[in-house]
Chains A and B, each alone.
Chain A
Amino acid sequence: MTGKRALLSIRGLGKQFGSTKVLNEVSLDVAESDVVSIIGASGSGKTTLLRCVNLLETFEEGEIVLDGQPIGYKMVNGRRHRLPERELARQRAMTGMVFQAFNLFPHLTALGNVMLGLTKVRRLPKPEAKELALSWLGRVGLKERPLHYPSQLSGGQQQRVAIARALAMDPKLVLLDEVTSALDPELVQEVLQTITKLAEEGITLLIVTHEMAFAKRVSTRVVFMDHGRIAESGPPKQIFAKPATPRLRQFLRNAHV
């Protein structure tokens, strides 16, 4: 850990799903401008962790502190209460999320997708929102296609719109959940390049990915999750070259790294 204050602090996070503990004592600090990649097998809890951070899922144990403020729950007389929906919505706007399945609003154009949050959540007036949205689309390389509908865009283009949509909200950090897994191989690079650019610009990223080479290249830290726990974490060189735990060694072997 550097001396920097943690932008995001996950402490002892625990989540139960029926009889399975999907997240177990998960603790993680992310400083500003950190790029943390989370790797691990399917079902290891990576996606659930991300969804807990942006409050799309509930969690029973632990706490998440974003920019000094605990999110999702409040303590009342020593008992934990989920915050009301209004408050949760406000907190969700502070974290941006990009999904594996893009999840663009199909009834809105690319511009409309980026503008919706700007007009309805950030309450910007329409002309200002439009200008800002167009600039974000430009930054992800989609300047020429603002009026296209998602069904008229390729997978890579859709994902880049999704990234613009998340960034336009000016979030404190961006969560990326296997954002290239659903793409045709030739479209993966354009998205990875976009993310690399964001990392270079100092945007704090928490990335769940299977793209090991990309994770090695772009991350400041790599975290390996296994069965709901963080099994190992460290700088990319260490994680990929000298894995300490046997589970990680096996995982990297299976992933042909």
Chain B
Amino acid sequence: MDYYFRFGVIWANFDKLLFGLALGLALAFIAILAGIAIGLVCAFASTSRNRLIRSAVGVYVSVIRNTPILVIVLLVFFALPQLGVRFDKYQSFAASLAVYAGAYLTEVFRAGLNGVPLGVVDAGRAIGLTGFQVAAYVTFPIMMRNSLPAMRTTFISLFKDTSIATVIAVPELTFQARKINVETFRVVEAWLAASALYVATCLIIAAGLRRIERRYSIM
């Protein structure tokens, strides 16, 4: 192997890598918040007695989950302007990731909803809670607690998906690493550093979310 390591270059550019990481986290955060809102609405909508609403949610989830995220990102960024929708690349990516997140979180919350024992809902009705009160004080809290582990894996996955933003020139971590790679030819170091940052961030997020899970799980 005819290669000598020079990590100094990486240190010199570390601030750019960190900027990229922060940008990725910010995009993920926005998309996750929007995705949770979408997911909650759709999960409850999928229990509706209205067949049209149920089908609509089903179609949304099925289409998004079976389509590659890169296609969705490119569609939103390049094709939507054809319909008159103007996004800058940041908004475009955040919107794409939010729609993507919404579909996955819908399934997460749906599973959480199914895990609410019917008997406990009955008990809520038996003490005189109205339908809304049962949903708010019994179903929703139990559903959220059920959904915590799956939310954790989904959030981490969505954070990793921010790397796709590179393709539309959003300067997040992967973009920065590629730039360093191409400009300095420090190939191994650049990608090692990027990977290390991603892995470390994922581990930190996972640990943090696990702590929250432990606090709230029905133990």
Asked whether, in the complex, the Cβ of A149 is within 8 Å of the Cβ of B218, the reply is yes
Asked whether, in the complex, the Cβ of B218 is within 8 Å of the Cβ of A89, the reply is no
Query: B95 in the interface, Cβ–Cβ < 8 Å?
Result: no
How many angstroms from the CA of A90 to the CA of B119 in the assembled complex? Answer: 19
Flag A26-49 by CB within 8 Å of B: 1 or 0 each.
Answer: 000000000000000000000000
Asked whether, in the complex, the Cβ of B123 is within 8 Å of the Cβ of A99, the reply is yes
Asked whether, in the complex, the Cβ of B127 is within 8 Å of the Cβ of A166, the reply is yes
A120-B137, A149-B219 known; A104 and B123 CB under 8 Å?
Answer: yes
Q: Give the number of chain B interface residues (Cβ < 8 Å).
A: 21
When C-beta atoms are compared, the residue in chain B nearest to A93 turns out to be B128
Query: A117 in the interface, Cβ–Cβ < 8 Å?
Result: yes
DSSP majority for the B interface?
Answer: helix
A85-B131, A121-B128, A169-B128 known; A116 and B137 CB under 8 Å?
Answer: yes
Q: Which residues of B contact A208 (CB under 8 A)?
A: none
How many angstroms from the CA of A107 to the CA of B147 in the assembled complex? Answer: 13
How many angstroms from the CA of A155 to the CA of B145 in the assembled complex? Answer: 22
Asked whether, in the complex, the Cβ of B123 is within 8 Å of the Cβ of A92, the reply is no
Flag A198-216 by CB within 8 Å of B: 1 or 0 each.
Answer: 0000000000000000000
Asked whether, in the complex, the Cβ of A105 is within 8 Å of the Cβ of B124, the reply is yes
Asked whether, in the complex, the Cβ of A54 is within 8 Å of the Cβ of B126, the reply is yes
Contact among A95, A103, A116 with B117 in the assembled complex (CB-CB below 8 Å): A103
11 examples of A-B residue contacts, CB within 8 angstroms: A54-B126, A56-B126, A86-B130, A101-B119, A103-B119, A106-B120, A116-B127, A116-B129, A165-B123, A166-B126, A166-B127
Footprint of A on B, CB under 8 Å? 117, 119-120, 122-131, 133, 137-138, 141-142, 145, 218-219
Interface pairs A-B: 6 shortest CB-CB: A93-B128, A103-B123, A117-B127, A103-B119, A97-B126, A121-B128
Contacts A54-B126, A104-B123, A106-B120 supplied; 10 other A-B pairs, CB < 8 Å: A56-B122, A56-B126, A89-B131, A103-B123, A106-B218, A107-B142, A120-B137, A149-B218, A151-B218, A151-B219
